[in-house]
Structure 1
Amino acid sequence: MAMKETSHIPEALQKRILENLSSAVLLFDHALRLQYMNPAAEMLFEVSFRHMLGNPSESLIQCPEGVTRENLQQALVTGHHFTERELSLPLPDGKRVTVDCTVIPIMDGDGETGLLIEIQQIDRQLRISREEQLLSQHQAAQELIRGLAHEIKNPLGGLRGAAQLLEQELDDPALCEYTQIIINEADRLKNLVNRMLGPDRLPNLRESNIHTLLERVRNLVLAESGERIQIIRDYDPSIPDLYVDSDRIIQALLNILRNAAREISDNPDGRIVLQTRILRQFTIGNRRHRLVAQIGIEDNGRGIPEAIREKLFYPMVTASEDGVGLGLTIAQSLINQHGGLVECASEPGKTLFSVLLPVENPNATN
């Protein structure tokens, strides 16, 4: 089936336009056999048009409900176009991408109706939007914590001082037990607030090998667990040294890895995978970086409850019965100070934390 040439746009120009589009375009005839796909579609499906020419639509496009042909056949019959947004489209390599898919019935030169399908991958836009939301959440939480810290620490200091003075005036040593409780609890609350605020000094940035830092964290967690858990390494040796505060990166990674180890501690088949990769021309928030190091910490535990996934990095949010919900908040803060971000994706049997760190001298914040 040949595309019908308009009176204003020559066929050669139409072809050049299609071949330079960033969205994938596919053309099917009335029998839903592939007649054309542009280079963007070849890249998306990782196949060549030459090998796919004449194949049925379902060999490329798989609707989530498995009704690809029925949906497209309906568009042919009615002649109405439709758009499906944020579809999870499976690819031949087993991966999934999120796309907007538009189906447009068109008539060829012989009067038969075919379908023009445009597929626009929106993973990047969704990811950037999610990252901006994470950064906004973290900034809002930090502002709230700073305000609360001022209001809490001042009266705590007064309570502690009053308890110390009272202790000096007591004649009965047995009563000092009660003043010590007041002093100790005041100190505990002050330390909790300080932990929520994070470090009060600028990062000490030095060139560091990320795999050396990961090995320190891995060995520490194995020592704490008595080596009962399995931690698999999948490192990319091409990652250059990063310009980071080693102590803070170790603390951030340790907080995440300890959570993963706790999650699989009762699972005899539990495992954690530490993976590093280099990402090129990658955007974190609204800033694009030439090189970004991606550190993945993946476990095969039960997954994070859906009720807390969206607020996982808020203070005092935890799925653990014995946790206080500060580990991930602190990890996010420490990574943010390096111009990076911590992301999380979770489902039953798989939880992946991705730590993203710019490689080239990021602008650290205090």
Structure 2
Amino acid sequence: MTAAPPTIEHLGTPLAWTDHAGVLLGCNGAFARWLGVSPRRLLGLPLEDIDAEPPRLSDLLARLPLGADAPLHARRARLRAHAAGERFADLWLARLDDSVLIEVHPADEFPLEDYANTLPGALHAALKGLAHEVKNPLAGLKGAAQLLARRSDDADARRYIDVILHEVDRLGTLVDRLLNPAPPGETSPTNVHEALERVRLLAEAEAGWSVRLLRDYDPSLPEVTANADRLTQALWNLVRNAMEAGASEVKLRTRAEHNALIGDRALRIALRVEIEDDGRGVPDDLAERIFLPLVSGRAEGSGLGLTLAQQVAREHGGSLAYRSRAGHTVFTLLLPID
């Protein structure tokens, strides 16, 4: 096995390197400890031997172009070494002159199954019942807001009344969708920052001064093909989830992610939206079920917000993932850029 340089050997980040055929040439101690085996047992192994989802790693290696400007990012990869059990991680793969470097970021806090594909019929019936319960109060809210709009001459008040009316209409559409499932609405070129700004306005109206909302936008990002209302709904659910977790600060961040993977689909570029907060974090007992419908860490919570956000991500060919600890939680929405 190729010995790791001292600077790499003492790093806490797990690192390994292979030849261009995918045979392991070496690793640092952090990588071997993370997999639960000795470095010598990894010498000469093909990637398939530590891949818990073969041939995913081999396929990723084949997609990694020579001379790429940025590494290829693989989300939620599953690795294993003999009887040591499976490990979950985000991987960054980069081609060097005569090898491929694999940087590992362990992510054991969210080894989530795709529960959305196994939603039982009884749960669907419960959602429809909940939608019926919501429909009548929404009609009352809309009538009250329309009455206020006719009586108010204050420009600031009218601005918030318009927000209420817009949101009532959007929630009414959402209720109709729960009662009568249909294909996603029409898509069009959408500026994600406009959706985020609407969400920010909603959050400020709801939380007042109790939550500080920060923006960290990349203004150079292109538009994405999306249903603007559905995208706004997903982002609002994520921000509201942060506020309900006791956050005093929520950051809205956008970036371009090069050589991104959504599922096993490699993209030259994707749009990354992060909702970061300093709240309580995801409870340990909910970590593997957080995207399930009707699962909530609060007694008064509906348990629908994150489920719907994940559904919207899928409708747009994207993904929704998270990492969390007390005081620092980040939900990451990835969307393809045409």
Give the TM-score normalised by structure 2: 0.57
Partner of 1:60: 8
| Residue in 2 that maps onto 1:347 | 325
Deviation at 1:313, TM superposition (A): 0.3
CA–CA distance in 2 between the matches of 1:257 and 1:152? 22
Q: 1:137-156 to 2 correspondence within 5 Å?
A: 137-141=115-119, 144-145=120-121, 149=124
- What's 1:216 paired with? 198
Please tell me the root mean square deviation across aligned C-alpha atoms, in Å.
4.2
Corresponding residue for residue 127 of structure 1: 76
Tell me the SS of whatever aligns to 2:76: helix
C-alpha distance in structure 2 between counterparts of 1:297 and 1:82, whole Å: 33
Query: Structure 1 segments of 4 or more deviating over 4 A?
Result: 81-88, 99-102, 119-126, 128-135, 150-154, 191-199
> Higher mean Cα deviation, 129-138 or 311-320?
129-138
State yes or no: 1:27 paired with 2:3: yes
Match of 1:305 among 283, 287, 290: 283
Report SS of the residue matched to 2:303.
Answer: coil
Q: Distance in 1 between matches of 2:225 and 2:176?
A: 26
Q: Which amino acid aligns with 2:264?
A: N
- State the distance in 1 between where 2:182 and 2:299 align: 29
Inter-partner Cα distance in structure 2 for 1:151 and 1:344: 26
Q: Which moved more, 1:348-357 or 1:284-293?
A: 284-293
Which consecutive unaligned segments of at least 5 residues does structure 1 have?
1-24, 29-33, 35-56, 66-80, 89-98, 106-114, 158-190, 361-366
- Residues 102-129 of structure 1 deviation map (CA, whole Å, 9 limit, x = unaligned): 6349xxxxxxxxx99xx99989556245
> 1:128–1:284: 8 Å Cα contact kept in structure 2?
no
Q: Which residue of 207, 216, 222 corresponds with 1:234? A: 216
Q: Report the CA distance between 1:254 and its aligned residue.
A: 0.4
Q: Partners in 2 of 1:251 and 1:207 — Cα distance? A: 17
**Pair 1:251 & 2:233 matched:** yes
Contact between 2:74 and 2:261, CA under 8 Å: does it hold in 1? no
Task: State the one-letter code of the partner of 1:139.
Answer: N
Report whether the alignment pairs 1:333 with 2:333: no
SS in 2 for 1:264: coil
Distance change (3 Å), C-alpha of 1:229 and 1:287: same
In 2: Cα distance, 1:350 partner to 1:293 partner = 22
Matches within 5 A, 1:180-195: none
Q: Which residue pairs with 2:301 in the alignment?
A: 323
Structure 2: how far apart are the matches of 1:152 and 1:352? 27
Q: How far did 1:236 drift? A: 1.2
Aligned-partner Cα distance in 2 for 1:287–1:239: 21
- The one-letter code of the counterpart of 1:325 is G
Contact 2:280 2:326 in 1 (8 A): yes
1:204 is matched by which residue type in structure 2? Answer: E
In structure 2, C-alpha distance between the alignment counterparts of 1:240 and 1:128, rounded to whole Å: 29
The secondary structure found in structure 1 opposite 2:39 is: strand
Q: CA deviation at 1:203?
A: 2.2
| 1:272 match | 250
Larger-gyration structure (1/2): 1
What do residues 11-50 of structure 1 show as CA deviations (whole Å, max 9, x unaligned)?
xxxxxxxxxxxxxx8536xxxxx4xxxxxxxxxxxxxxxx
Where does the alignment leave 5 or more consecutive residues of structure 2 unmatched? 14-26, 52-56, 58-71, 79-87, 91-109, 133-172
Aligned equivalent of 1:207, options 163, 166, 189: 189
Q: Partners in 1 of 2:38 and 2:32 — Cα distance?
A: 11
Give, in angstroms, the shift of residue 232 of structure 1.
1.1
Equivalenced residue count is 231
Q: Describe the SS at the equivalent of 1:320.
A: coil
Q: Secondary structure at the match of 2:323?
A: strand
Task: Map 1:37-116; keep pairs closer than 5 Å.
Answer: 57=6, 59-62=7-10, 103-104=39-40
